[in-house]
Chain A
């Protein structure tokens, strides 16, 4: 459950900024390269890349690089849902195995 809170926090943080909201709005019309996305903003590229990386870590946006050109697109809801499900499965196994660590330690203690 803590993972879900973190996932939502990153989404809300990503949306809290007007530049990032404008990027999302632009990507709503289709994929675009980073330089196309940066063009309307009076901002140095490294600063703009920080916004892109915030959007990517929130998983609202994904990007891929081909040569020197990075293209961004909105992550579809279904893709986000699948990734989130895998994340939940991972958390489930981690929690389950952490219980087993405790049980094994206890059983090992009983043997001695």
Chain B
């Protein structure tokens, strides 16, 4: 004997199955979208902090360079035209390093110059570079079932 179909041509339970499928899809996509945008937001915050820190350190570095420049101008005046005495006092190079993060430093090197005519500077920047530490150990492992 053939089974009798329901009044709407749909069996009881099929709407529940459809609902379960649709709700599962909705929940999955909602969870994925919130996780993805949260990850983007966290990355954005890290970039923001890193940029702020870089400019903070860069400003400190400029302050240090200004200090060296003033000291060089004073030493030049003291030396009274004696180039050897000038270099004996200030040396030929000056370097400093500022920490940006645990992994990166801002390294600066200056070449000390002896100005000979009006308009000549007292130093030249030979290095102004963000250097990443060499002793980084990358995590190349994967969480695999054994």
Do A and B make up one complex? no
Using CB atoms and an 8 Å cutoff, list the residues of chain B in contact with chain A: none
Using CB atoms and an 8 Å cutoff, list the residues of chain A in contact with chain B: none
